Amino acid sequence: MPEGDTIHRLAAMLRPRLEGAALEAVATRAARGEPLREHGPMRADALRARGKHLLMELTGPDDTPWLLRTHLGMWGTWHEYARGAEWSKPAHQAHAVLTLEDRMLVCFHPRELAWRWMPAVGAEAADVERLDARVGPDLLAAEVDVDAVVARVRRDAAADRPLADVLLDQSLAAGIGNVYKSELLFLHGCHPRTPVGRVSDPVLRALYADAVRLLRRNLRPGPRITRERAEPDAFLYVYGREGEACRRCAAVVRRALLGQHGRATWWCPVCQPEGVAGSSRNPGGVRPDQ
């Protein structure tokens, strides 16, 4: 599943191509196995990210506002092709096709796609209200309030729920994916199975504050980096490094399928001992890289 910074970077890439552009045709597929439905020509207006959701505001020839919302999930992608070029994926996997004068933008195999008439004002209307009910504050939003996120976690997450699940729960805060989950827990010395009720508010706040910091840091081009002093091809602390030496203590990094959905999780058994509730020190509760 893409991290929140991936979707914000995608929005930044698509925005100059789409915003204000005349679309010769728009087509969407309501569900797998159903045909593409043609919606005719439209004008592309605003485009923005909301957590892991990409929101495109469109206007029809009769000035009717529409919203195209996609959530890519594990396998979804947006592709760009010249008109007439062969697609790299089968046409039956295309769930949205936007046709411009000189190119086509195609969304393949998204986890979710919603095509909505917006009865009020663009993307601030009904679909986003429904989205707000299931998606927490976007950690990349300029106005994000980390203290409000902590309060939301305390209110909505069961005390015995493990941190590995809490951090991935997009209804609590949107933007953290599997990479940041493992990296944040390492940075703050938290074992992934630690129940959130055993974690202090300062540690919980530090986890989400570092999530904001790292997500914003990685909006720039290039590889995703969580280390304070990254070396070439050594950008992360534990994610994807099963069996390798911890960059802090040289213990062997472990991996297991943990949590409600059995997501792969990496951690250091020495820096993140089970039964320890973590640290709120900065940066991330660990010594700077040696």
Write down all domains in the chain, each with its CATH number in brackets.
Answer: 4-134 (3.20.190.10), 146-267 (1.10.8.50)
- Phi/psi at 193 (nearest 5 deg)? -90, 0
β-strand partners of 114: 69
Looking at residue 223, what is its pLDDT? 85
Q: Which residue has the higher pLDDT, 148 or 222?
A: 148
Question: Cα 222–228–230 angle (5° rounding)?
Answer: 50
Dmax (CA) of the chain: 64
- Phi/psi at 89 (nearest 5 deg)? -125, 160
Contact yes or no for 173/3 (Cβ under 8 A): no
Which residues are identified as catalytic?
A: 2-3, 52, 263
pLDDT bracket for residue 6 (50, 70, 90): confident
Q: What is the pTM of this model?
A: 0.69
Q: How far is Cα 97 from Cα 280, in angstroms, rounded to an integer?
A: 46
The end-to-end CA distance of the chain, in Å, is: 31
Q: Taking residues 255-270, report their average pLDDT.
A: 92
Closest CA to 164 of 180, 147, 146, 149: 180
- Point out the least confidently predicted range of 206-220, 248-262, 269-283: 269-283
Looking at residue 289, what is its pLDDT? 45
CB-hemisphere CA count at 13 Å for 54? 28
